[in-house]
C-alpha cells in the first residue's frame, strides 16, 4: 500500500489495483464495494455455461459480481470506476454490459454535472426563488448552489428522493424535455425532510436540460449503490 497526493491511496486487492480515498468516509456516493469471491471449492463448473473446470478450462472470477466463470464467459476486461480500479478488470458478460452502460455516465455525464447549470431554485415552501448556479462537487459528494446573495450545499447521501419534471411534448411532436427537478433531503443534524426545487430559466435551456438528464442518471446509480 502506498500513499499518493490529493487524499487518495493506492491499494492492492485480489481483483487489482484501486485508487481509493484515504478516509473511507469520503467515498463517492456512486461507489460500490468489491464483492466477496465465490470460493473455488464451491464452483466446480462455470456459473454460466456449466463447463467443468480442469487444467485446460480454467476458472476466473468476475471482479464486479464475484462469481466463477470459464474464460469464454468472462473474457472481457473493462473499466470499473465504481470500484475505483486503476486498470480495466475481468468481468462476466452480464456485468460487462452494465459497466459499458455506466461508462457513458463516467465519461460524459459527470463532466456535465461538475460543469453545472443555471436554475431557478426554491427552498422548502418559500415563495421566494433565486437564480443559482448548481453543480456537483469534484468528489461527487455534494450539490453546490451558488446565487448572488446565498450559497448552500446538499450532500448526495442525504437525498431521499429525486424526481425529474418534464414539460410534455416539444414542438413538432418530439419527446418530452426535462424542465426541472424536485428533490427531498435531510439537512445535517436533522431528520426532518427538506424540499428543493430546480427549474430551468431563460431562453437557452439546452445546458440545464442536459444537466437534469445527467442528474437523473446519477440518481439511478445513487440508489443502486444504497441497495448493494
Q: What is the CATH number of the domain that holds 88?
A: 3.30.40.10
Q: How far is CA 105 from CA 26, 60, 138, 214, 227, in A?
A: 20, 27, 14, 7, 19
pLDDT above 60 for 6: no
Domain co-membership, 69 together with 31: yes
Asked whether the CA dihedral 103, 104, 105, 111 is positive or negative, the reply is positive
Residue 4: pLDDT band by 50, 70, 90 thresholds? very low
Domain co-membership, 62 together with 148: no
Residue 153: pLDDT band by 50, 70, 90 thresholds? very high
- Residue at which a domain ends, from 53, 82, 105: 105
Q: Per the domain annotation, does 44 fall within a domain?
A: yes
Per the structure, the count of domains in the chain is 2
Lookup: cell for 68: 466463477
Question: Over pLDDT 70: what percentage of the chain?
Answer: 91
> Which CATH number fits the domain that encloses residue 152?
2.30.29.160
Tell me the residue range of the domain where 6 lies: 2-105
Q: Per the domain annotation, does 76 fall within a domain?
A: yes
Q: What is the pLDDT of residue 62?
A: 97
Of the candidates 95, 92, 99, 121, the residue with the CA atom closest to the CA atom of residue 180: 121
Task: Kindly give, in sequence order, each residue whose CB lies less than 8 Å from that of residue 53, ignoring residues fewer than 6 positions away.
Answer: 43, 44, 45, 46, 59, 68, 70
- Residue at which a domain ends, from 53, 71, 105: 105
Alpha helix ranges (H) inside the chain: 93-104, 110-115, 206-227
Distance separating alpha carbons of residues 16 and 11, to the nearest angstrom = 8
Domain co-membership, 40 together with 21: yes
Give the DSSP H or E segment for 144.
strand 142-147
Domain co-membership, 51 together with 135: no
Domain co-membership, 101 together with 122: no
When pLDDT is averaged across residues 130-146 and rounded to a whole number, the result is 93
Residue 178: pLDDT band by 50, 70, 90 thresholds? confident
* C-beta of residue 159 within 8 angstroms of C-beta of residue 183: yes
Domain co-membership, 123 together with 84: no
pLDDT above 60 for 122: yes
When pLDDT is averaged across residues 121-134 and rounded to a whole number, the result is 89
> Which of 73-82, 155-164, 165-174 is the least confident region?
165-174
* C-beta of residue 38 within 8 angstroms of C-beta of residue 48: no
Q: Per the domain annotation, does 110 fall within a domain?
A: no
- Residue at which a domain ends, from 78, 105, 132: 105
Domain co-membership, 92 together with 8: yes
Task: Kindly give, in sequence order, each residue whose CB lies less than 8 Å from that of residue 21, ignoring residues fewer than 6 positions away.
Answer: 7, 8, 9, 27
Domain co-membership, 16 together with 99: yes
Residue 220: pLDDT band by 50, 70, 90 thresholds? confident
Give the residue, 133 or 24, on which the prediction is more confident: 133
Amino acid at each position: 500500500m502506498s500513499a499518493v497526493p490529493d487524499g487518495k491511496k493506492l491499494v492492492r486487492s485480489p481483483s487489482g489495483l484501486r485508487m481509493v480515498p484515504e478516509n473511507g468516509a469520503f467515498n463517492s456516493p456512486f461507489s460500490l464495494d468489491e464483492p466477496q469471491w465465490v470460493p473455488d471449492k464451491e464452483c466446480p463448473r462455470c456459473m454460466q455455461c456449466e463447463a467443468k473446470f480442469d487444467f485446460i478450462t480454467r476458472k476466473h472470477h468476475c471482479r464486479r459480481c464475484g462469481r466463477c466463470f470459464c474464460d469464454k464467459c468472462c473474457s472481457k476486461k473493462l473499466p470499473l470506476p465504481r470500484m475505483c480500479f486503476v486498470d480495466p478488470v475481468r468481468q462476466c458478460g452480464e456485468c460487462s454490459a452494465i459497466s459499458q452502460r455506466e461508462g457513458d455516465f463516467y465519461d460524459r455525464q459527470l463532466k456535465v454535472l461538475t460543469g453545472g447549470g443555471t436554475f431557478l431554485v426554491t427552498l422548502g415552501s418559500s415563495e421566494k426563488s433565486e437564480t443559482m448556479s448548481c453543480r456537483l462537487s469534484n468528489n461527487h459528494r455534494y450539490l453546490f448552489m451558488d446565487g448572488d446573495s446565498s450559497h448552500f450545499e446538499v450532500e448526495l447521501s442525504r437525498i431521499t428522493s429525486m424526481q425529474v419534471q418534464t414539460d410534455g411534448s416539444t414542438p413538432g411532436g418530439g419527446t418530452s424535455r426535462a424542465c426541472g427537478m424536485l428533490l427531498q433531503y435531510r439537512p445535517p443534524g436533522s431528520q426532518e425532510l427538506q424540499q428543493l426545487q430546480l427549474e430551468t430559466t431563460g431562453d437557452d435551456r439546452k445546458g440545464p436540460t442536459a444537466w437534469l438528464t445527467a442528474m437523473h442518471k446519477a440518481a439511478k446509480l445513487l440508489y443502486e449503490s444504497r441497495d448493494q
